[in-house]
Amino acid sequence: MFFSGTESSVKLGKKVIEGVYYFEENPMLDCNQFIITDKNKGELALFDSGNGLSLKGLFEGMNNLGLDYRKITKVFLTHEHVDHVLGLYTLIKTLKNNPPEIYAYGETADILEQGNESKIFPGNLGISPKMFNLEIIPLDIKKMNIDETINIGSEFTFQIYYTPGHSRGSVCYYESNKKILIPGDLVFTGGSFGRYDFPGGSLDMLIESIKFVNNLDVNYLLPGHMGISDNGNPQIDYSYKMVQSIKSFF
Ligand SMILES: [Zn+2]
């Protein structure tokens, strides 16, 4: 089988609720992406940038849903890993006349500001920026604070929570009115949870972070990989039980 994570594959998009769109990850080292619309300004916020190769597919997927990629004015990152941030470099080039603001927290912000290639490509994945036709350069980053509030139009107000365990820079975005959680790679559907064996990962921290989000009121669970759910709390609880059962082996 050919890799389908190439430039040509359209990212399948789907409206989750009014103003919230989900774009499914491509199979090769990519991530789910989410668009949230700012109705007041007619602008779009993008959550995670994917791997860059999939960006054209995202734009096509957006176009199919009537969303114009040139309206992306803000990018919010969940964490520093290659499959979530690499698309930034392509996105900035593509939108060079009106580049979006990039929002990140802590280690994620630092790594991107420094252009720290070895931290963007963690461990021994056996990949390099060249394989993506990219050069890692220092970026202008808007640094977020914990418990900061992000407004997207008048409809969405996200809280930022620091949720390490999968990586040092991992955050979750939570919208309490609409009960949306964007957890990055902390917790997935189907009882899955993020890897904790990359540099900066920790099983204990992962458990603590999942425990924390397990106490939030979540309908829409929009994770960085695999499927999404409109029945978030039971999914998070399932993952919490699974991660605790792993812990009991040690
Ligand atoms: Zn990750």
pLDDT digits (tens, 9 = 90+) for 201-215: 999 999 999 999 999
Domains delineated in the chain: 13-247 (3.60.15.10)
- What residue has token string 């930022």? 160
Distance 94 CA to ligand 1 centre (A): 24
Which long-range contacts (C-beta less than 8 Å, at least 24 apart) are formed by 213-217? 213/161, 213/163, 213/172, 213/174, 213/181, 213/183, 213/186, 213/187, 214/240, 216/174, 216/176, 216/181, 217/176, 217/179
Tell me how crowded residue 123 is: count the other CB atoms within 10 A of its CB. Answer: 11
pTM of the predicted protein model: 0.94
Distance 81 CA to ligand 1 centre (A): 5
Distance 224 CA to ligand 1 centre (A): 8
Distance 166 CA to ligand 1 centre (A): 7
The predicted-structure confidence for 10-63, as pLDDT tens digits, reads as follows 999 999 999 999 999 998 889 999 999 999 999 999 999 998 888 999 999 999
Residue 249 has pLDDT above 90, yes or no: no
Q: For residues 76 and 12, give the distance between their C-alpha atoms in angstroms, rounded to a whole number.
A: 20
- Phi/psi region, residue 81 (left: phi>0; alpha: psi -120 to 50; beta: rest), is beta
Distance 211 CA to ligand 1 centre (A): 19
- What residue has token string 């808007």? 142
Distance 155 CA to ligand 1 centre (A): 28
Distance 53 CA to ligand 1 centre (A): 17
Distance 183 CA to ligand 1 centre (A): 11
